[in-house]
A and B are shown apart, each in its own frame.
Chain A
Protein backbone atom coordinates (compact mmCIF):
# COMPACT_ATOMS: atom_id res chain seq x y z
CA UNK A 1 0.00 0.00 0.00
CA UNK A 2 1.42 3.37 -1.01
CA UNK A 3 1.79 5.86 1.82
CA UNK A 4 0.77 9.48 2.09
CA UNK A 5 2.72 11.47 -0.49
CA UNK A 6 3.76 15.07 0.11
CA UNK A 7 5.65 17.55 -1.99
CA UNK A 8 7.87 19.41 -2.05
CA UNK A 9 10.12 17.89 0.58
CA UNK A 10 11.82 21.20 1.32
CA UNK A 11 11.02 24.81 0.52
CA UNK A 12 12.83 28.06 1.27
CA UNK A 13 11.05 31.35 0.61
CA UNK A 14 11.38 34.96 1.64
CA UNK A 15 8.86 36.52 4.00
CA UNK A 16 5.77 37.93 2.33
CA UNK A 17 6.06 35.42 -0.52
CA UNK A 18 3.45 32.73 -1.06
CA UNK A 19 3.91 28.97 -0.96
CA UNK A 20 1.80 25.87 -1.55
CA UNK A 21 2.13 22.32 -0.33
CA UNK A 22 0.55 19.27 -1.88
CA UNK A 23 -0.69 16.05 -0.30
CA UNK A 24 -1.95 12.83 -1.86
CA UNK A 25 -3.54 10.59 0.79
CA UNK A 26 -3.81 6.84 0.78
CA UNK A 27 -6.35 5.68 -1.75
CA UNK A 28 -9.79 5.36 -0.23
CA UNK A 29 -9.02 7.40 2.87
CA UNK A 30 -11.88 9.80 3.38
CA UNK A 31 -10.38 11.95 6.11
CA UNK A 32 -7.35 14.16 5.57
CA UNK A 33 -5.48 16.36 8.06
CA UNK A 34 -2.84 19.05 7.88
CA UNK A 35 -0.56 19.58 10.86
CA UNK A 36 2.08 22.21 11.53
CA UNK A 37 5.14 21.14 13.53
CA UNK A 38 7.46 23.84 14.81
CA UNK A 39 10.93 22.69 15.79
CA UNK A 40 10.94 21.04 19.22
CA UNK A 41 7.17 20.83 19.50
CA UNK A 42 4.53 18.24 18.77
CA UNK A 43 2.43 18.53 15.61
CA UNK A 44 -0.45 21.00 15.81
CA UNK A 45 -3.65 20.30 13.89
CA UNK A 46 -4.48 23.01 11.34
CA UNK A 47 -7.40 21.58 9.41
CA UNK A 48 -9.40 18.39 8.96
CA UNK A 49 -11.29 17.36 5.81
CA UNK A 50 -13.92 14.67 5.45
CA UNK A 51 -14.03 13.92 1.72
CA UNK A 52 -14.02 17.42 0.22
CA UNK A 53 -15.68 19.18 3.14
CA UNK A 54 -14.01 20.95 6.06
CA UNK A 55 -14.73 19.35 9.43
CA UNK A 56 -12.51 21.48 11.65
CA UNK A 57 -10.41 24.51 10.75
CA UNK A 58 -10.53 26.24 14.10
CA UNK A 59 -6.71 26.35 14.40
CA UNK A 60 -6.05 27.53 10.85
CA UNK A 61 -4.86 31.19 10.66
CA UNK A 62 -7.34 32.08 7.98
CA UNK A 63 -5.90 35.50 7.27
CA UNK A 64 -2.92 33.88 5.58
CA UNK A 65 -3.52 30.13 5.39
CA UNK A 66 -5.95 28.37 3.10
CA UNK A 67 -6.54 24.74 2.21
CA UNK A 68 -8.68 22.86 -0.20
CA UNK A 69 -9.42 19.29 -1.10
CA UNK A 70 -11.08 19.29 -4.46
CA UNK A 71 -12.79 16.05 -5.47
CA UNK A 72 -12.11 14.62 -2.04
CA UNK A 73 -8.69 13.23 -2.89
CA UNK A 74 -5.58 15.45 -3.14
CA UNK A 75 -5.22 18.49 -0.96
CA UNK A 76 -3.22 21.70 -1.09
CA UNK A 77 -2.26 24.00 1.78
CA UNK A 78 -1.30 27.56 0.91
CA UNK A 79 0.33 30.35 2.86
CA UNK A 80 0.07 33.90 1.56
CA UNK A 81 1.90 35.97 2.64
CA UNK A 82 4.40 33.94 4.66
CA UNK A 83 5.88 35.16 7.92
CA UNK A 84 9.07 34.11 9.66
CA UNK A 85 7.08 32.26 12.31
CA UNK A 86 5.58 30.00 9.64
CA UNK A 87 8.91 28.16 9.43
CA UNK A 88 7.96 24.60 10.34
CA UNK A 89 7.33 21.13 8.99
CA UNK A 90 3.88 20.72 7.47
CA UNK A 91 2.55 17.21 7.84
CA UNK A 92 -0.33 15.62 6.02
CA UNK A 93 -2.15 12.59 7.39
CA UNK A 94 -5.11 10.52 6.25
CA UNK A 95 -7.54 8.16 7.92
CA UNK A 96 -9.84 5.70 6.28
CA UNK A 97 -13.04 6.87 7.91
CA UNK A 98 -14.42 9.21 10.47
CA UNK A 99 -14.40 7.44 13.79
CA UNK A 100 -11.86 5.04 12.42
CA UNK A 101 -10.07 2.72 14.71
CA UNK A 102 -6.69 1.16 15.09
CA UNK A 103 -3.85 2.48 13.00
CA UNK A 104 -6.02 4.37 10.55
CA UNK A 105 -3.89 7.50 10.80
CA UNK A 106 -1.00 7.48 8.35
CA UNK A 107 1.35 10.45 8.10
CA UNK A 108 3.44 11.67 5.22
CA UNK A 109 7.07 12.67 5.64
CA UNK A 110 6.19 16.35 5.61
CA UNK A 111 7.36 19.50 3.88
CA UNK A 112 10.00 21.52 5.70
CA UNK A 113 9.37 25.24 5.14
CA UNK A 114 12.01 27.84 5.94
CA UNK A 115 10.98 31.49 5.72
CA UNK A 116 13.89 33.94 5.58
Chain B
Protein backbone atom coordinates (compact mmCIF):
# COMPACT_ATOMS: atom_id res chain seq x y z
CA UNK B 1 0.00 0.00 0.00
CA UNK B 2 1.01 3.59 -0.61
CA UNK B 3 2.49 5.30 2.43
CA UNK B 4 1.28 8.77 1.52
CA UNK B 5 -1.94 10.75 1.67
CA UNK B 6 -2.76 13.45 -0.85
CA UNK B 7 -5.88 15.48 -1.63
CA UNK B 8 -7.67 13.99 -4.63
CA UNK B 9 -7.81 17.27 -6.56
CA UNK B 10 -6.73 20.90 -6.48
CA UNK B 11 -7.22 24.01 -8.58
CA UNK B 12 -4.67 26.74 -9.23
CA UNK B 13 -4.85 29.88 -11.32
CA UNK B 14 -2.43 30.14 -14.20
CA UNK B 15 0.67 32.12 -13.25
CA UNK B 16 0.23 31.53 -9.54
CA UNK B 17 2.22 29.15 -7.37
CA UNK B 18 0.72 25.69 -7.01
CA UNK B 19 1.32 24.14 -3.59
CA UNK B 20 0.61 20.42 -3.43
CA UNK B 21 0.62 18.87 0.05
CA UNK B 22 1.50 15.32 1.01
CA UNK B 23 1.31 13.53 4.34
CA UNK B 24 3.74 10.70 5.06
CA UNK B 25 3.52 10.35 8.83
CA UNK B 26 5.00 6.83 8.89
CA UNK B 27 8.10 7.68 6.89
CA UNK B 28 11.27 6.04 8.16
CA UNK B 29 14.64 7.71 8.52
CA UNK B 30 16.13 6.30 5.34
CA UNK B 31 13.14 6.80 3.08
CA UNK B 32 13.16 9.50 0.45
CA UNK B 33 10.23 11.64 -0.68
CA UNK B 34 9.78 11.58 -4.44
CA UNK B 35 7.35 13.45 -6.64
CA UNK B 36 6.23 12.31 -10.07
CA UNK B 37 3.56 13.70 -12.35
CA UNK B 38 1.52 12.11 -15.08
CA UNK B 39 0.18 14.18 -17.91
CA UNK B 40 -2.76 12.71 -19.80
CA UNK B 41 -1.80 9.76 -22.03
CA UNK B 42 1.82 9.77 -20.89
CA UNK B 43 3.85 7.77 -18.40
CA UNK B 44 4.80 9.25 -15.03
CA UNK B 45 7.60 11.80 -15.14
CA UNK B 46 10.11 12.44 -12.36
CA UNK B 47 9.95 15.93 -10.83
CA UNK B 48 12.07 16.10 -7.70
CA UNK B 49 13.07 14.19 -4.59
CA UNK B 50 14.53 14.84 -1.14
CA UNK B 51 15.51 13.22 2.14
CA UNK B 52 15.64 15.93 4.80
CA UNK B 53 16.57 19.21 3.21
CA UNK B 54 14.46 21.35 0.96
CA UNK B 55 15.28 20.92 -2.70
CA UNK B 56 14.86 23.02 -5.81
CA UNK B 57 15.35 22.30 -9.48
CA UNK B 58 14.24 23.82 -12.75
CA UNK B 59 10.78 22.30 -12.42
CA UNK B 60 9.80 22.71 -8.79
CA UNK B 61 10.70 23.11 -5.14
CA UNK B 62 10.22 20.50 -2.44
CA UNK B 63 9.66 21.59 1.15
CA UNK B 64 9.96 18.84 3.77
CA UNK B 65 8.91 19.55 7.36
CA UNK B 66 11.49 19.15 10.08
CA UNK B 67 9.82 16.01 11.43
CA UNK B 68 9.59 14.69 7.84
CA UNK B 69 5.96 13.72 8.30
CA UNK B 70 4.75 15.93 5.48
CA UNK B 71 5.98 17.78 2.45
CA UNK B 72 4.84 20.30 -0.14
CA UNK B 73 5.62 20.40 -3.82
CA UNK B 74 5.69 23.93 -5.18
CA UNK B 75 5.31 24.81 -8.84
CA UNK B 76 6.31 28.48 -8.72
CA UNK B 77 4.46 29.77 -11.79
CA UNK B 78 1.87 27.26 -12.91
CA UNK B 79 0.97 27.04 -16.58
CA UNK B 80 -1.74 25.10 -18.38
CA UNK B 81 0.88 22.48 -19.23
CA UNK B 82 1.20 21.67 -15.53
CA UNK B 83 -2.28 20.15 -15.55
CA UNK B 84 -1.59 16.57 -14.48
CA UNK B 85 -1.88 14.01 -11.69
CA UNK B 86 0.88 14.51 -9.14
CA UNK B 87 2.12 11.55 -7.10
CA UNK B 88 3.97 11.84 -3.81
CA UNK B 89 5.89 8.65 -3.04
CA UNK B 90 8.17 7.55 -0.24
CA UNK B 91 10.59 4.69 -0.62
CA UNK B 92 14.06 3.54 0.22
CA UNK B 93 16.35 3.64 -2.75
CA UNK B 94 17.63 0.19 -1.97
CA UNK B 95 14.05 -1.08 -1.99
CA UNK B 96 13.89 -0.02 -5.57
CA UNK B 97 10.11 -0.25 -6.02
CA UNK B 98 7.80 2.69 -6.51
CA UNK B 99 4.34 2.11 -5.06
CA UNK B 100 1.87 4.68 -6.32
CA UNK B 101 -1.15 6.04 -4.47
CA UNK B 102 -4.01 7.85 -6.19
CA UNK B 103 -2.21 11.20 -6.41
CA UNK B 104 -3.59 14.72 -6.69
CA UNK B 105 -5.24 15.86 -9.90
CA UNK B 106 -4.10 19.45 -10.43
CA UNK B 107 -6.25 21.68 -12.61
CA UNK B 108 -4.67 24.91 -13.83
CA UNK B 109 -7.34 27.50 -14.50
CA UNK B 110 -6.79 30.07 -17.26
Other-chain residue from B49, B97, B101 in contact with A42 (beta carbon distance below 8 A): B101
A-chain residues with CB within 8 Å of residue B36 when the two chains form the complex: 105
Q: Are B43 and A108 in contact (CB under 8 A)?
A: yes
Query: With contacts A105-B46, A107-B43 known, is A42 near B96, CB below 8 A?
Result: no
- How many of chain A's residues touch chain B, expressed as a range? 20 to 34
Main secondary structure, interface of B, reads: loop
Total contacting residues, chain B, CB less than 8 A: 22
Other-chain residue from B41, B45, B49 in contact with A107 (beta carbon distance below 8 A): B45
B94 at the interface (CB under 8 A from A): yes
B-chain residues with CB within 8 Å of residue A17 when the two chains form the complex: none
Binding site for B on A (CB under 8 A): 4, 31, 33, 35, 41-45, 48, 55-56, 91, 93, 95, 98-103, 105-110
